Chains A and B, each alone.
Chain A
Amino acid sequence: MTATQERPDTAAAKEIGRDRRRKEDQRLITGRSRWTDNITLPGMLHLAMVRSPFAHATITGIDVTEAQAAPNVVAVLTGKDLGESQGACINAWAITTDQVTPAHVPMPSDRVAFAGETVAVVVARSAAAARDAAELVDVEYDELPAALDLKEAAAADAEHGVLAHPDLGTNRSALWTFDSAEAGTGGDADQAIARARAEGIVIEREYRQQRLIPAFMEPRSTVVDPTGEQITMWSATQIPHILRFALAASTGVPESKIRVIAPDVGGGFGGKLQQTPEEMITFAVARRLGKPVKYTETRSESLMTAHHGRDQWQRLTLAAEKDGTVTGLKVELIADLGAYVSLIGGGVPVLGAFMYNAIYKFPAYHFSCQTVLTNKTWTDAYRGAGRPEATYAIERLMDELAAEVGVDPFVVREKNWITKEEFPFTTVAGLEYDTGDYESATREAKDRFGYDELRAEQRRRREAGDRVQLGIGVSTFTEMCGLAPSRVLGSLNYGAGGWEHASVRMLATGTVEVTTGASAHGQGHETAFSQIVADRLGVAFEDVEILHGDTSIASKGLDTYGSRSLVVGGEALVRAADKVIEKAKPIAAHLLEASVDDIEFSAGRFGVRGTDQGLAMAEIAMAAFAAHNLPDGIEPSLDSDATYDPVNFNYPHGTHLCAMEVDTETGGVLMRKYTCVDDVGTVINPMIVEGQVHGGLAQGIAQALWEEAVYDDSGTLVSGSFVDYLLPTSADTISFDVSHRSTASTTNTLGTKGVGEAGTIASTPAVVNAVVDAIRHLGIDDIQMPCTPERVWRAIHDVAGGGGTDTEGAAAPHFDASTGMQGTVDRTDGADR
């Protein structure tokens, strides 16, 4: 599957591959940024949400009199007041045709289904006045039993147990399955497992993917101005285009009457890939009052109500021969949707379904996922979305298989992975991996890491019976990214396509205005895309302006998620730029008095073959603008656009290695070293790529060690502030040894692969594998995430028969001198930490 334009002429590639400092930075480091909450419009009103303290309750009455009378309050509105004008929150991906999908009214008037759901909104002249008055709204509830535990909710039915939505009669939303025997992509997993039980190895495990909170640093904020011909919404969102579609589709306001702008957006990680109730309520209030309104959430509101991620139980059965050759894999998931099926919601585990076989040649595979409704915050995409869960499961299992066979974790991996010569390779899940070189990435990673030396040290410390043991974790991951071929999405019943759009406008003065439908929020599109266009058109990097995140400026697009911007959006850019060149050629030929066939374009210049005559792109742009002397039938414009629909996903991969020290007396864990070598295809800007990996690593490591959204028995989020939800700090993390290789992908012209999610997907199993590896000799083969000192301590004491419950000892800050930065903590002797 290749569908590419001509490869770039490498002589002209001055920008691609270069560590350009980012164009975005100047405004961000000087405080000239345009966050949504910065926007103030004349007469603008402010909203505060009144939220349910109960996870599940009937609303029996709302008294707004006192709030209404409070100073500077303009209106207090309930779900009844807004009625149908609020529209609905859409589920864009019913994963099965019989999926049970509860109606999701942004502000319900009869029943709340999770703690934090909005029941009334106060509109006031200032945010402070709105918040004060929100305290005065008197809501009466009849509390209902809440479905909270995922396994219990999955087992419940109308007769037994608690239902999240009693009217639905079930908590089970959809059961999605994939069977390689049925699909014709492999054999029967159950048979493979039965065979392995008789004469091979069967590894059976159950892993918990704890609930996580994306926790972007900029709280969500929305401003709606209904005073123009179009209603304008500014929102801290990853998806201005999808949001505009959803606003129109669910409120009946014509799409052409809505403009959505995502100005500077402070991080998303999937967490702002949503059509939120708050956006819908703000939109409805603005329309009703005819005034600009703003809503900005507090951090507590954000943690409680912005969608969460992960939250699955994974039952896994791996079959292998005695020598470690894998023969089958069976995956049974239950996934917590929370109270509603969100925009992508149930589709997240389905995205993972194609990745459990990972880089290995499984001959048989069976996957099933039951999505389940509970009375908790809804879940949706969080960095990696389905693929981290899959990668975690398989990379943990491969380590368990190695332990069972009694060999180094790399031995079973090498035995089973797709070799370099075997690409393109069609997997048991039905995907065609275009390229990969697991051998080289692994060799390089082991060298950089000092794998053999660390194994030797591990042996020494184990033999000496050191209190602090060393563990080494391996993760050889791949992922599918660049979402996504529209036809594939269609076959999975997804509600939209996966294409991307770009336009290139040559301005008269020779500068270039580019629009992209990929809406950045920290990824550096303005810089990397400028580099691509500069090379393609042979213009200066500084002369390219990238515009995005506004449906009136970049009118078409499908936004930023799933590591798609570069591989899909970048290809659209290349194609739009190539059309500009094609449109310029006849004009150049005309002006140079040559035949079009003799015009050659290179490094920004249209030359006549065999002569030294030529014109620069800027000169053609001016000629097109003036239009005084154009060939007949040629329009006076070089502007072009392109909409690109990918033909395949894109498969970056890498080898990640992690060394962890585990204090067997306190259960404390410390990261000593982290090395990764990722193959991300052609790199446009190495500095940005490394930054993406660093950030991804920290998030993946945080899942392994620190983060977990915890609810109490009544359904209240107890990790509801940054005091309780433990984002890593600079003192918790170390400097990483990050490098990359570049096997060009064949799925796009530039040969790029996605990189936004790689670090997150790969690192979680590397860390947990390392923790388990450090104490496996004590008889431990799993620690549930996050691997807190308490959990590690308990695991050690449970096997030792020691028992006991008192534990303490948070992970101390730690630093690594080995990564070339100044570090001071001596890591080899951890005995008295």
Chain B
Amino acid sequence: MTRIEVTVDGSKVTDDVEPRMLLVQYLRETLGKTGTVVGCDTSNCGACTVHLDGRSVKSCNVLAVQASGHEVTTIEGLAATGGHADGQLHPVQEAFRECHGLQCGFCTPGMIMQAVDLLNENPSPTEEDVRLGMEGNLCRCTGYHNIVKSVLHAAGGAR
């Protein structure tokens, strides 16, 4: 067991974890942050995407111990840690709802976290930028049409 100290969605937490425990398992199983989900076992789907110190990572591809001393933001803390008032949505969350960028919603937490990172890096992306930037996140429901639209919509709002 290894002692870790992580800031997750703004709160400091301390736990003893097995060295092999993945960050996504730590979030879901230890902390009950079930908003972040697991869609594959080969780091292909992006459903588990969270932010580590503000940059998107696939949390199935990071060990919990690697997150020690760092800040993790999940879909559950996105709005609050972004300085949005209680009950308010992050603009990207709002854009996904506005543009029907989700159906079953399973890929959505990962999509939103990835989109936020993409827009932080490139606030005015083209459709091509969005399509290439979201390539690591799979969705089986939407055909991506409205996901791309959502991200462009959020970018428009931010400008």
Say yes or no: is A219 at the interface (Cβ < 8 Å to chain B): yes
Q: What distance in Å separates the Cβ of B88 from its nearest Cβ neighbour in chain A? A: 11
Cross-chain contact B135 with A813 (CB below 8 angstroms): yes
Task: Select one of B41, B104, B105 contacting A300, CB under 8 A.
Answer: B41
Task: Select one of A33, A524, A727, A817 contacting B138, CB under 8 A.
Answer: A727
Given contacts A33-B34, A267-B106, A299-B45, 12 further A-B contacts (CB under 8 A): A24-B105, A30-B75, A31-B33, A31-B36, A35-B34, A38-B34, A217-B104, A217-B140, A264-B105, A266-B104, A694-B144, A695-B103
Say yes or no: is B42 at the interface (Cβ < 8 Å to chain A): yes
Cross-chain contact B134 with A722 (CB below 8 angstroms): no
* Chain A residues whose C-beta falls within 8 Å of the C-beta of B98 in the assembled complex: 21
- Which residue, A30, A698, A738, A815, has most C-beta atoms of chain B within 10 A? A30
Task: Select one of B44, B89, B104 contacting A522, CB under 8 A.
Answer: B104
Q: Of the 9-residue stretches A609-617, A638-646, A729-737, A785-793, which lies at the interface with chain B?
A: A729-737
Say yes or no: is B23 at the interface (Cβ < 8 Å to chain A): no
- Which residue, A33, A217, A266, has most C-beta atoms of chain B within 10 A? A217
Which 4 pairs across A and B sit closest by C-beta, in order of nearness? A31-B35, A266-B106, A522-B104, A28-B105
Name the CB-closest residue of A to B110.
A217
Cross-chain contact B103 with A822 (CB below 8 angstroms): no
* Chain B residues whose C-beta falls within 8 Å of the C-beta of A269 in the assembled complex: 140
Say yes or no: is A407 at the interface (Cβ < 8 Å to chain B): no
* Chain B residues whose C-beta falls within 8 Å of the C-beta of A688 in the assembled complex: 100
Say yes or no: is A29 at the interface (Cβ < 8 Å to chain B): yes
* Chain A residues whose C-beta falls within 8 Å of the C-beta of B132 in the assembled complex: 730-731, 813
User: Contacts A522-B105, A687-B100, A721-B40 hold; do A822 and B138 have CB atoms under 8 A apart?
Assistant: no
Residues of A684-706 at the interface with B, using a CB-CB cut-off of 8 Å, are 687-688, 690-692, 694-699
Q: What distance in Å separates the Cβ of A658 from its nearest Cβ neighbour in chain B? A: 14
Task: Select one of A265, A521, A722, A730 contacting B44, CB under 8 A.
Answer: A722
Task: Select one of B93, B108, B109, B137 contacting A730, CB under 8 A.
Answer: B137
Q: What distance in Å separates the Cβ of A496 from its nearest Cβ neighbour in chain B? A: 25
Say yes or no: is B56 at the interface (Cβ < 8 Å to chain A): no
Name the CB-closest residue of A to B33.
A31
Query: Interface of B with A (CB < 8 Å)?
Result: 18, 25, 28, 32-42, 44-45, 47, 74-76, 79, 89, 93, 96-98, 100, 102-109, 112, 126-128, 130-132, 134-149, 152
Say yes or no: is A777 at the interface (Cβ < 8 Å to chain B): no
Task: Select one of A31, A264, A822 contacting B109, CB under 8 A.
Answer: A31
Say yes or no: is A215 at the interface (Cβ < 8 Å to chain B): yes
Say yes or no: is A829 at the interface (Cβ < 8 Å to chain B): no
Cross-chain contact A29 with B108 (CB below 8 angstroms): yes
Cross-chain contact A696 with B128 (CB below 8 angstroms): no
Cross-chain contact A733 with B106 (CB below 8 angstroms): no
* Chain B residues whose C-beta falls within 8 Å of the C-beta of A692 in the assembled complex: 103
Cross-chain contact B143 with A733 (CB below 8 angstroms): yes
Say yes or no: is A25 at the interface (Cβ < 8 Å to chain B): yes
* Chain B residues whose C-beta falls within 8 Å of the C-beta of A264 in the assembled complex: 104-105
In angstroms, Cα B142 to Cα A728, docked, is 11
Cross-chain contact A217 with B106 (CB below 8 angstroms): yes
Say yes or no: is A824 at the interface (Cβ < 8 Å to chain B): yes
User: Contacts A219-B39, A722-B42, A722-B44 hold; do A521 and B104 have CB atoms under 8 A apart?
Assistant: yes
Task: Select one of A40, A128, A217, A687 contacting B139, CB under 8 A.
Answer: A217
* Chain A residues whose C-beta falls within 8 Å of the C-beta of B136 in the assembled complex: 729
In angstroms, Cα B128 to Cα A649, docked, is 41
Q: How many residues of A contact B (CB 8 A)?
A: 66
Q: What distance in Å separates the Cβ of B45 from its nearest Cβ neighbour in chain A? A: 6
* Chain B residues whose C-beta falls within 8 Å of the C-beta of A96 in the assembled complex: none
User: Contacts A217-B138, A218-B106, A267-B140 hold; do A721 and B42 have CB atoms under 8 A apart?
Assistant: yes
In angstroms, Cα B132 to Cα A813, docked, is 8
Cross-chain contact B142 with A29 (CB below 8 angstroms): no
Q: What distance in Å separates the Cβ of B116 from its nearest Cβ neighbour in chain A? A: 12
Say yes or no: is A778 at the interface (Cβ < 8 Å to chain B): no
Q: What distance in Å separates the Cβ of B133 from its nearest Cβ neighbour in chain A? A: 8
* Chain B residues whose C-beta falls within 8 Å of the C-beta of A267 in the assembled complex: 103-104, 106, 140-141
User: Contacts A731-B135, A821-B152 hold; do A32 and B106 have CB atoms under 8 A apart?
Assistant: no
In angstroms, Cα B135 to Cα A736, docked, is 18
Say yes or no: is A426 at the interface (Cβ < 8 Å to chain B): no
Cross-chain contact A823 with B41 (CB below 8 angstroms): no
In angstroms, Cα B60 to Cα A630, docked, is 62
Cross-chain contact A28 with B102 (CB below 8 angstroms): yes
Cross-chain contact A29 with B112 (CB below 8 angstroms): yes
- Which residue, A29, A219, A738, A823, has most C-beta atoms of chain B within 10 A? A29
Q: What distance in Å separates the Cβ of B109 from its nearest Cβ neighbour in chain A? A: 5
In angstroms, Cα B106 to Cα A215, docked, is 12
* Chain A residues whose C-beta falls within 8 Å of the C-beta of B42 in the assembled complex: 299-300, 721-723
* Chain A residues whose C-beta falls within 8 Å of the C-beta of B147 in the assembled complex: 730
Cross-chain contact A31 with B34 (CB below 8 angstroms): yes
Cross-chain contact B146 with A694 (CB below 8 angstroms): yes
Cross-chain contact B104 with A691 (CB below 8 angstroms): no
Q: What distance in Å separates the Cβ of B106 from its nearest Cβ neighbour in chain A? A: 3
Q: What distance in Å separates the Cβ of B149 from its nearest Cβ neighbour in chain A? A: 7
Cross-chain contact A823 with B102 (CB below 8 angstroms): no
In angstroms, Cα B140 to Cα A266, docked, is 9
In angstroms, Cα B32 to Cα A522, docked, is 23
Chain A window 789-827, contacts with chain B (Cβ cutoff 8 Å), 1 for yes, 0 for no = 000000000000000000000000101010001111100
Name the CB-closest residue of B to A723.
B42
Residues of A605-654 at the interface with B, using a CB-CB cut-off of 8 Å, are none
Cross-chain contact A266 with B35 (CB below 8 angstroms): no
Task: Select one of B76, B102, B131, B145 contacting A31, CB under 8 A.
Answer: B76
Could you jot down 30 A-B contacts, CB within 8 Å?
A21-B97, A21-B100, A27-B105, A29-B75, A29-B112, A33-B34, A216-B104, A217-B104, A217-B140, A219-B39, A265-B104, A266-B105, A267-B104, A300-B42, A694-B142, A695-B140, A695-B141, A695-B143, A696-B143, A721-B42, A729-B134, A729-B137, A730-B132, A730-B137, A730-B148, A735-B127, A738-B145, A815-B128, A815-B131, A825-B128
Chain A window 214-258, contacts with chain B (Cβ cutoff 8 Å), 1 for yes, 0 for no = 011111000000000000000000000000000000000000000
Say yes or no: is A595 at the interface (Cβ < 8 Å to chain B): no
Cross-chain contact B41 with A721 (CB below 8 angstroms): yes
Cross-chain contact A299 with B97 (CB below 8 angstroms): no
Q: What distance in Å separates the Cβ of B100 from its nearest Cβ neighbour in chain A? A: 5
Cross-chain contact A217 with B127 (CB below 8 angstroms): no
User: Contacts A29-B89, A31-B34, A219-B38 hold; do A22 and B131 have CB atoms under 8 A apart?
Assistant: no
Say yes or no: is A5 at the interface (Cβ < 8 Å to chain B): no
Residues of A1-50 at the interface with B, using a CB-CB cut-off of 8 Å, are 21-22, 24-33, 35, 37-38, 40
* Chain A residues whose C-beta falls within 8 Å of the C-beta of B34 in the assembled complex: 31, 33, 35, 37-38
